[in-house]
Amino acid sequence: MKRTELLLSGVSASFFLLYLLGGVGMSLFMMLSLSLLGALYAYLGFAHLNGVRMAQVFKKEAYSSIRFTDILIGIFGGIGMAAIINSVLFAIMLWPGRGFLFVSGSIFLGIAIVMAFVLSGTYPLLKERLVKRVAIYMVFGGLFYVIPAGFWFSIRYRNNPEYVEAMIEHYNNPSKENAEKLDQVTEEMLRNSEK
């Protein structure tokens, strides 16, 4: 499962860079790869953090030596990492809700860390796996949380400053007037791109 995690992380980072460079269709592939990475953690985080291999995930014997509390720690950690990955996606795509996802993911990861150090005394590998990932995702998610909304969008559409300005204005103050202005700017941008 570690290979799957690394592969999805690398593919997501590659598509993110191609998205910033203006690659056509890269937002779709970036969304898919980040969503798959989040789903991996959300649904299989308990197995991944406890060292269960992908081929053994659905076999009862793989969990015979794992305590119930360790599985709970993995569930909380997986949900937290999935929420932070989704908050990054929401920040990149300029969708509302990135703050809620980051904070809720941080809370879940905080609960997992506390549980790991209080309840999981016999399984140090769980702590090691969890602490590494929490450190990476908190730094990564925190970076995307503190960077102002629209930063990545403005890099992506750096050649269309009117569109960026209209989109960020609509994001910060959603109103009918701002939506109409965004529609006009978008139509004009599309007409200019056809020439």
- What's the pLDDT at 172? 86
Using alpha carbons, list the distances in angstroms from residue 58 to 7, 52, 53, 160.
22, 10, 10, 50
- What's the pLDDT at 129? 84
- What's the pLDDT at 5? 87
Whether 126 has a pLDDT exceeding 90, the answer reads no
Can you tell me the mean pLDDT for 40-51? 87
Alpha carbons 125 and 138: distance in angstroms, whole number? 20
Can you tell me the mean pLDDT for 123-145? 87
- What's the pLDDT at 16? 93
Angle at Cα 103 formed by Cα 127 and Cα 179, nearest 5°?
A: 145
Can you tell me the mean pLDDT for 117-129? 73
- What's the pLDDT at 37? 93
**Residue of higher predicted confidence among 149 and 113:** 113
The percent helix, strand, coil of the chain (3-state, each to 5) is 80, 0, 20
Can you tell me the mean pLDDT for 139-156? 91
Alpha carbons 184 and 62: distance in angstroms, whole number? 58
Mean pLDDT, the chain, rounded, equals: 88
- When pLDDT is cut at 50, 70 and 90, the band that residue 122 belongs to is low
- What's the pLDDT at 32? 95
- What is the maximal distance between C-alpha atoms in the chain? 66
Q: Angle between the 124-146 and 26-49 helix axes, to the nearest 10 degrees?
A: 150
Q: Which of these ranges, 42-46, 51-55, 181-185, 191-195, has the smallest mean pLDDT? A: 191-195
- When pLDDT is cut at 50, 70 and 90, the band that residue 78 belongs to is very high
